[in-house]
């Protein structure tokens, strides 16, 4: 269910992600490709999307099953925060190598994915594929801490209001609201991650020093730099949250029905 959800949203909304990445690039939107080749890096994303989302939801649901029975209902939001942190850490570990190549392909449209994979392996080794992993975690954990508890809270309230379990489209609506809120609040962390992943090897940004990279962005562009790509990011994740959680819930409901039958 998680794999289907991740692949569905990335296939549907990939061009918006490309535009967001180019807006955040230190080279600037036009020099990074503008609106040309918005599916650059698509196959790298597709290869990593399903397994990373599957790893995320597997670990998230596993932790929920372990922790929820041990705590009263009023502590559920804290349980969901812990589960989200574990889930995102696992999902990001699987996704990071594919994300590095995808983002480089999005701004270096004259080189294909195979060349980028080989060049990264040759010049940077395994470490190159995990460039920005720490920054991805710095971005994804706060994002997950906002998104997943809000999603669970909205689902629970809607279910109580109608006195029956929610349907997949209702989960999609809750996911869209939760994702949009989380996306807006964590945009500076997404810019940080993008700058580190796209930085020239041995440059100051490539060092991965969080405060140094954020200071460079602030000195050059102030708030405009920290929140670059805000509109496409919020649009992408709001729409994506609807697809992501809707497909996930639909798959879960379908699988459960088959199991009962």
pLDDT tens digits along 216-247 = 777 777 887 788 888 888 887 898 889 989 99
| Rounded mean pLDDT, 88-96 | 89
Q: Range of 161's domain?
A: 1-259
Question: What is the tens place of the pLDDT at every residue in 38-62?
Answer: 777 777 777 788 899 999 999 999 9
| Rounded mean pLDDT, 74-84 | 88
Residue 33: which pLDDT band, with cuts at 50, 70 and 90?
A: confident
What the block records as the tokens of 121 is 């392996």
d(CA 228, CA 15): 16
To the nearest whole number, what is the mean pLDDT of the chain? 83
Q: Which residue has the higher pLDDT, 136 or 171?
A: 171
d(CA 119, CA 165): 50
Question: What is the tens place of the pLDDT at every residue in 157-189?
Answer: 999 999 988 888 999 999 999 999 999 988 888
What the block records as the tokens of 164 is 């029956």
The predicted pLDDT at position 55 comes to 93
Instruction: Kindly report which listed range (60-64, 118-122, 211-215, 245-249) carries the lowest average pLDDT score.
Output: 211-215
Question: Which domain CATH number covers 101?
Answer: 1.50.40.10
| Rounded mean pLDDT, 123-147 | 84
Residue 109: pLDDT over 70: no
What the block records as the tokens of 215 is 């200071």
Burial letters for 76-114: b for 16+ Cβ neighbours within 10 Å, e otherwise? beebbbebbbbbbbbbbbbbbbbbbbbbbbbbbbeeebe
How many residues are there in the chain?
Answer: 261
Split into its structural domains, the chain has a count of 1
Count other Cβ atoms within 10 Å, centred on residue 28.
12
């Amino acid at each position: 269910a998680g794999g289907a959800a991740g692949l569905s949203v990335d296939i549907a909304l990939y061009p918006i992600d490309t535009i967001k990445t180019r807006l955040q690039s230190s080279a600037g939107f036009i020099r990074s490709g503008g609106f040309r080749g918005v599916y650059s890096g698509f196959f790298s994303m597709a290869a990593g999307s399903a397994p990373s989302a599957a790893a995320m939801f597997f670990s998230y649901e596993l932790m929920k099953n372990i922790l929820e029975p041990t705590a009263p209902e009023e502590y559920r939001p804290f349980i969901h925060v812990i589960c989200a942190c574990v889930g995102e850490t696992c999902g990001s570990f699987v996704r990071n190598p594919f994300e590095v190549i995808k983002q480089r392909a999005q701004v270096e449209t004259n080189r294909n994915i195979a060349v980028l994979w080989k060049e990264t392996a040759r010049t940077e080794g395994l470490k190159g594929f995990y460039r920005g992993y720490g920054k991805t975690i710095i971005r994804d954990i706060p994002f997950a801490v906002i998104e997943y508890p809000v999603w669970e809270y909205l689902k629970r309230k809607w279910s109580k209001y109608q006195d029956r379990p929610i349907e997949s489209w209702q989960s999609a609506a809750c996911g869209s609201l939760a994702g949009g809120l989380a996306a807006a609040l964590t945009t500076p962390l997404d810019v940080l991650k993008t700058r580190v992943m796209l930085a020239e090897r041995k440059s100051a940004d490539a060092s991965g020093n969080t405060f140094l990279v954020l200071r460079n962005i602030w000195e050059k562009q102030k708030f405009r730099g920290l929140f670059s790509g805000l509109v496409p990011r919020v649009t992408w994740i709001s729409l994506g949250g609807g697809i992501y959680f809707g497909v996930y819930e639909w798959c879960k409901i379908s699988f459960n029905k088959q199991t009962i039958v």
